Each structure stands twice: as C-alpha cells, then as structure tokens.
Amino acid sequence: MVSDINLKADSDKEFFLIHGYTGSPTDFNELPMILHKEFNANVKVMLLKGHGTDIQNLDNMTYKQLLDKVESEFQKSLKTKRKIVLGGICLGAQMAFYLASKYHVEGLFHACMPYRLSFPFNIKGLKYLGIFRKYWRKRMSENEKKLRQGTFHYKYMHVNGLEMVKESNKYIPDILKRVTCPVLTVHSKRDPLSSYKAMEEIEAHLGSRIKTTALLNNNNHNLFFSDERQKAYSSIVKFFKDRF
C-alpha cells in the first residue's frame, strides 16, 4: 500500500516535497527523515493523483489534474501558518516552482528538473510514438535497484510524463522570474533524462537574490538513489541550515 509521508514535529517549520511522474513519496529516499531530524520540522510528501497503482492508471492523467491536487494540498499546509520550504524532483520540481511563484515560502530546492531534455527525449514529435509505445522501461543500474528495494517505483516511464514536462516548460521562464525565495539547484552531470546544462539558464531567469547550485557526478536521473545521495542530502541541509 503506497501512502503519503507525513512526519510530524512540534515546530512551525515544514518541508513540502513533491515527487516526480511515475514516482512515489519514496522518491526522496532518506531525505524526509533527515530533514525531520536536522530541522525538527514537519515533512510532507504527498502521493500524486493516480499514482501508487498500475501504470495504466496514468494513461488519461493530465498535468492540470496533478497540479490542482498538489496546490490543494499545499493550501492546507499554508493554513497552518508554518514556515514552509518547497522541494521537488523532476516534474515535481516544476510544480514546486509554480507554487513558489504564487505563494510565500521560505525557500525551495529542486533536483534534476527537466527544463532541457537530453537525447532522445528532446526529439520533436516524440509524442506521436505514444500511439505505438506508451511506456519505456526505465534504465536502472543494479546499485539503484538494490537501493530501491522496499520502495514503490514504476519500472516504466510514461509518454504522458514527457508531454507534461514540455507543457510545463513553456511557462517556466515567466514562473522563475516571480520566484524570489532562496533557491538551491541540485543536478546530476550525467542525468540521462534532463541536461545539467540548463542549470545556468534556470539561475539566469530566477528572481531570487540567493541561489546556489550543487552539481553531482552520477548517471542516475534520481540522484537520491545514487552513490552521490549523501552529497545531495548534505547540500540541501547545508543550504537551509542558516536560513530556516
């Protein structure tokens, strides 16, 4: 049974984390517990709409459906009057930026945001291949498979996810201009899905005065299930230690 992660603390701090398409709340691996302990913070990672079952249940999912549900849950957190830091991975990072551009938050970190897709995912007209092929098997190393034991994850990518990423990217430049909170960018240099070369472009568009990047050297799209995961955790903790 896949469910939300909701770690409670006696404090006014909260990390609101958003996982990626064909992912789950366990996308962040040990990070939620680390943030909970390091900051004595409440940590929420909601299960995205339609996720947690069979990949076929995502066939008719739209980006608006996902975003509306995330925003609705985020508004519940806002009502608690806590100080909130947003975090997201892949498509979840794009949604985190949307929320940060619209609501006041203390900060934001994003991991492997697919602002610029790598080959072959950047091929024009790729969506039409969905008529013949909706799902692509994810490339996972044996180490990643081992690290993911006991977690829920899809073995396949969904063509809808690529279209959602591209749809979201149309609005990202304008969204970034309206984000003024401190922002940490974390990316993998050899990410097979999203190009790390977009990091500079993202920073150039940001309205934030405080912005830092952490570039890791691994070939996993999800860096929280890589040999560099401890560096990713440390970068996030260090960035917010004096700000949150």
Q: Domain ranges for the chain, please list them.
A: 5-238
Average pLDDT over residues 153-181: 86
| Residue 66 confidence (pLDDT) | 92
| Residue 221 confidence (pLDDT) | 73
Average pLDDT over residues 192-199: 72
Bigger pLDDT: 141 vs 110: 110
Per cent of the chain over pLDDT 90 is: 50
Per cent of the chain over pLDDT 70 is: 90
pLDDT digit string, tens, across residues 23-80: 899 999 999 999 999 999 999 999 999 998 999 998 888 999 999 999 999 999 999 9
Query: With 70 as the cut, is the pLDDT of residue 122 above it?
Result: no
Query: With 70 as the cut, is the pLDDT of residue 137 above it?
Result: yes
Query: With 50 as the cut, is the pLDDT of residue 89 above it?
Result: yes
Q: What is the pTM of this model?
A: 0.91
Cα distances (angstroms) measured from residue 220 to each of 12, 53, 121, 192 = 34, 23, 15, 7
Q: pLDDT confidence of 193, banded at 50, 70, 90?
A: low
Query: With 80 as the cut, is the pLDDT of residue 174 above it?
Result: yes
| Residue 121 confidence (pLDDT) | 57
Across the chain, mean pLDDT equals 87
Q: pLDDT confidence of 170, banded at 50, 70, 90?
A: confident
Long-range contacts of 133-138 (CB under 8 A, 24+ apart): 133/159, 134/59, 134/158, 134/159, 134/160, 135/55, 135/159, 138/22
pLDDT digit string, tens, across residues 214-228: 888 877 778 898 889
| Residue 191 confidence (pLDDT) | 67
| Residue 158 confidence (pLDDT) | 83
Superfamily of domain 5-238: Alpha/Beta hydrolase fold, catalytic domain (3.40.50.1820)
Least confident of 15-29, 31-45, 125-139, 193-207: 125-139
Instruction: Tell me how far apart the alpha carbons of residues 191 and 184 are, in angstroms, rounded to a whole number.
Output: 18
Cα distances (angstroms) measured from residue 201 to each of 36, 164, 183 = 32, 20, 14
Q: pLDDT confidence of 119, banded at 50, 70, 90?
A: very low
CA atoms within 13 A of residue 30's CA, in its CB half-sphere: 14
